[in-house]
Amino acid sequence: MINKISQNSKNQDIEFSRDESLTSPVGPLLIASCQSGSKLAKRVVELLKNENIAQVYGEHLIFLEDIDFQFSDGETCVRLEEDVNGRDVFLFQGLKDPTSDRNVDENYLAFLIAIRAFREWGAKRITGVLPYLAYTRQDKPTAGKREPVTAELMANLSVEAGLNRLIVWAPHDRRVQGYYGKTPVDAIDPLPFFLNIFHRFKGADDCIGIAPDAGAADLMIAFCRNLELRCAITSKHRPKPEHADVTDIIGNFDGMKRALILDDMINTGGTVEAAIKKVCHNTEVNEIWLGVSHFLGSPQAVEKLKDLHHNFGLKEIYVTDSVPATSAFSKLNFAKISSIDKSLMEVIKNIHLNKHMNKILRKPN
């Protein structure tokens, strides 16, 4: 049962059944969300309502929604409508939100200010929940360019603000975890998600898995090993930022008519567009399925996907709700959006109850 808090109609007080074996050692649970993280946070809270998490010290789980706002001069502020002292806080934010006019930097700043607010007002532990971790592609300078390692800077800012732990979904590069130093980073692997979606292709003798670039190779190798499929990889280079050229495809395509392509993210869609067109032009593959961990929602990508669907054999694209989907993308009849709410709920529950994470975070062999 959810009872509205009189001070703020968006804040919700959620009561769970009592089970002393499920009592957290780190204080009562509090879920909070900045504006761009509220949609996914609500889904997780609904799942948590059905979990047997005990009340701690007689207090109920609190959900603080949309805790950030802007003053008329453009400054961001965070206001906490409930006492958070001693709480185990899980703070949701969508750093990329194409459904709003808030950009990545504005959302990141709101996240940092929210961390500081919980720290200054006595939260016992603050765990950030960032389904899409922005800036991970800036984990090293471009060769020959004078660029900073911005991924490390954002990690430093988060830790300095007061972050104690971080949960992310399918980061662009797991090496980014090292930038957080002693702060634990729980990176949820997308492999089980893709294996579940594409299980129907297991052992198909006319189907091949294709990594669209070297960065996706490890995921694709594990994916194909589990589904007993052949594996291929494209050779890609970028002549300039956000432009991709695929020069070759490495793999045995004899007898292959169908292909599965996995990528960690689509921004403008240049990589998957180049890969799919190369596959269609150079092989006998005529049906393609695409799986993507993060779809960033650019209009250019939507138009490219439409073209690939109508002219280059793209049957379906599967994405997650790690980034809120735009109406233009949601209306595509070949686009399938799956929620990562259950994965996030399980991680949050186990962290809060101090249970082991092996079963949740361990990827299939």
Report pLDDT digits (tens) over 202-212.
999 999 999 99
Q: pLDDT confidence of 1, banded at 50, 70, 90?
A: very low
* In a shared domain, residues 212 and 260: yes
- Tens digit of pLDDT for each residue in 261-313? 999 999 999 889 989 999 999 999 999 999 999 999 999 999 999 999 999 99
Find the mean pLDDT for residues 313-339.
97
pLDDT score recorded for residue 32: 98
* In a shared domain, residues 161 and 36: yes
Find the mean pLDDT for residues 353-360.
78
Residue 109 pLDDT > 80: yes
* In a shared domain, residues 23 and 133: yes
Q: pLDDT confidence of 144, banded at 50, 70, 90?
A: confident
pLDDT score recorded for residue 363: 62
Q: 106 near 77, Cβ under 8 Å?
A: no
273: CB partners within 8 A, 6+ apart:
244, 304, 307, 308
The domain of 309 spans 191-333
pLDDT score recorded for residue 248: 81
- Active-site entry in 39, 145, 182, 236: 236
Averaged pLDDT score across all residues of the chain:
88
* In a shared domain, residues 182 and 147: yes
* In a shared domain, residues 47 and 178: yes
Q: pLDDT confidence of 14, banded at 50, 70, 90?
A: very low
Find the mean pLDDT for residues 355-362.
72
* In a shared domain, residues 133 and 74: yes
Is the sign of the CA dihedral 212, 217, 221, 222 positive or negative? negative
pLDDT score recorded for residue 4: 38
* In a shared domain, residues 68 and 116: yes
* In a shared domain, residues 137 and 83: yes
* In a shared domain, residues 100 and 213: no
pTM above 0.85, yes or no: yes
Active site residue 236: yes
* In a shared domain, residues 167 and 268: no
Largest CA distance in the chain: 66
Number of domains in the chain: 2
The lowest-confidence range among 13-17, 72-76, 189-193, 347-351 is 13-17
More confident residue, 12 or 124: 124
Q: 53 near 61, Cβ under 8 Å?
A: yes
> What CATH number is attached to the domain comprising 300?
3.40.50.2020
Strands of 142-229 (E only): list them. 165-169, 185-188, 207-211
* In a shared domain, residues 29 and 149: yes
Residue 236 pLDDT > 80: no
pLDDT score recorded for residue 215: 81
* In a shared domain, residues 14 and 40: yes
Residue 5 pLDDT > 50: no
